[in-house]
């Protein structure tokens, strides 16, 4: 990660509008972004810019305005999106994006609450929150950017690092089994489960739009290049080379059983929409079972 020291313009809607007009006034996506926060901190070749842009296009495809969504992120390179989006966003502590977002989703069921975070944040320190929010079918839209390592802190092994992959903490190759995220999400109760890579930007936009308009706990995994933390030790080349790898090694298989979607080092990557089902949400069960019973008894 490259760190650029520069003055940060304090966020204020009027100032931001003026800056947008002066600096970027002609770009239609500026209403979703805070140009005063740009340039971003992400490395050249990182996939996070692609994911951020697909999220904006997913909002547009879903017909959602900025006051109809909220974005909650955790710590890490992905967590920085909360600072770049010009809407209600919350950059929470490590692993705690889901509990924060759960409270928000329960109080504001009218919002499409998105949790936008990385694999380390969501599945290591935040793993327990993930499985229980999925089990409860909380109305959350989880967008997990998986780059197979902890990029921001120096490229350490994460719960998604494939066996044999090299990281700064596994210089002789990782010897731990990794999570199959779509299977974990499905087994925990997610009603919508998909995986795409940053190469599949159009599919990803559609998936984001579908998840934003679907009730319940939805999960999208986005495989994304991290040429610095993961690509370099594994000799994957530049970020563009990782995109070429996705193009040549992805198998689009909609409807695949998520347990078949394991990812290995330099192996085939199964992508697609795996699960799209319905079951009562936490809010619905609470309203039907608890509130109605309480009203009857009083």
Q: How far is the CB of 228 from ligand SF4 (least distance, A)?
A: 4
Which one of residues 20, 30, 35, 48 is an interface residue with ligand SF4 (CB under 6 A)? 48
DSSP the chain: ------PPPPP-HHHHHHHIIIIITT-GGGGGB-GGG-S-SPPTT-SHHHHHHHHHHHHHHHT--GGGEEEEE-SSTGGGHHHHBSSEEEE-STT-HHHHHHHHHHH-TTSEEEEEEEHHIIIIITHHHHHHHHHHT-S-EEEEEE-SEETTTTSEE-TTPPTT--BTTBTT---SPPP-HHHHHHHHT-SEEEEEETT-HHHHHHHHHHHHTSSS-EEEEEE---IIIIITTTT--SHHHHHHHHHHHEEE-TT--GGG----TTS-EEEEEEEE-----HHHHIIIIIIHHHHHH-
Cβ closest to ligand SF4, residue 147 vs residue 160: 147
x/- letters, 110..149, toward ligand SF4 (CB under 6 A): -------------------------------------x--
Cβ closest to ligand SF4, residue 195 vs residue 214: 195
Q: How far is the CB of 2 from ligand SF4 (least distance, A)?
A: 7
Which one of residues 35, 151, 159, 258 is an interface residue with ligand SF4 (CB under 6 A)? 151
CB 58 within 8 A of CB 208: yes
Q: Between residue 158 and residue 197, which ones bind ligand SF4 under the rule CB under 6 A?
A: none
Which one of residues 30, 32, 37, 46 is an interface residue with ligand SF4 (CB under 6 A)? 46
Q: According to the binding rule CB under 6 A, does residue 152 interact with ligand SF4?
A: yes
Q: According to the binding rule CB under 6 A, does residue 1 interact with ligand SF4?
A: yes
Residues 6+ apart with CB under 8 A from 232: 155
Q: How many CB atoms lie within 10 A of CB 83?
A: 15
Give, in order, the Cα–Cα distances in Å from 33 to each of 29, 133, 263: 7, 29, 33
Measure the CA–CA gap between 229 and 293, rounded to whole angstroms.
53
Q: According to the binding rule CB under 6 A, does residue 42 interact with ligand SF4?
A: yes
Q: How far is the CB of 27 from ligand SF4 (least distance, A)?
A: 22
Instruction: Give the interface segment with ligand SF4, choosing from 23-31, 41-49, 158-166, 197-205 (CB under 6 A).
Output: 41-49
Q: How far is the CB of 117 from ligand SF4 (least distance, A)?
A: 12
Q: How far is the CB of 171 from ligand SF4 (least distance, A)?
A: 18
**What distance lies between CA 41 and its chain's CA centroid?**
17
Q: Between residue 195 and residue 234, which ones bind ligand SF4 under the rule CB under 6 A?
A: 226-229
Cβ closest to ligand SF4, residue 116 vs residue 217: 116
Cβ closest to ligand SF4, residue 70 vs residue 77: 77
Place of tokens 């079918």: 137
Which one of residues 19, 33, 43, 144 is an interface residue with ligand SF4 (CB under 6 A)? 43
Cβ closest to ligand SF4, residue 196 vs residue 230: 230
x/- letters, 77..106, toward ligand SF4 (CB under 6 A): x-----------------------------
Q: According to the binding rule CB under 6 A, does residue 36 interact with ligand SF4?
A: no
List residues near ligand SF4 by CB under 6 A. 1, 42-43, 46, 48, 77, 147, 151-152, 226-229
């Amino acid at each position: 990660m490259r760190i650029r020291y520069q003055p940060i313009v304090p966020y204020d809607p009027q100032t931001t509008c003026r800056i947008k007009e002066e600096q970027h006034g002609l770009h239609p996506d500026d209403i979703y972004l805070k140009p005063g926060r740009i340039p971003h901190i992400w490395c050249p070749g990182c996939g996070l810019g692609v994911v951020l842009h697909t999220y904006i296009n997913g909002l547009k495809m879903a017909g959602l305005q900025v006051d109809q969504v909220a974005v909650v992120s955790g710590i890490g390179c992905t967590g920085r999106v909360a600072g770049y989006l010009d809407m209600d966003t919350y950059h929470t502590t490590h692993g705690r994006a889901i509990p924060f977002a759960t409270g928000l989703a329960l109080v504001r069921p009218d919002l499409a609450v998105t949790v936008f975070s990385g694999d380390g944040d969501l599945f290591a320190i935040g793993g327990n929150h993930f499985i229980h929010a999925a089990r409860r079918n909380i109305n959350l839209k989880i967008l997990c950017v998986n780059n197979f390592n902890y990029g921001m802190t120096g490229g350490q092994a994460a719960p998604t690092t494939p066996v044999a992959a090299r990281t700064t903490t596994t210089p002789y190759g990782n010897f731990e089994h990794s999570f199959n995220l779509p299977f974990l999400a499905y087994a925990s109760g997610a009603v919508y489960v998909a995986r795409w890579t940053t190469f599949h930007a159009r599919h990803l936009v559609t998936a984001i739009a579908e998840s934003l308009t679907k009730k319940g706990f939805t999960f999208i995994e986005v495989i994304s290049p991290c040429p610095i933390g993961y690509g370099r030790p594994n000799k994957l080349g530049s970020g563009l080379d990782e995109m070429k790898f996705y193009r040549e090694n992805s198998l689009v298989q909609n409807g695949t059983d998520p347990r078949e979607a394991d990812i290995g080092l330099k192996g085939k990557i199964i992508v697609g929409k795996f699960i799209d089902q319905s079951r009562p949400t936490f809010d619905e069960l609470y309203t039907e079972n608890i509130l109605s019973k309480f009203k009857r008894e009083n």
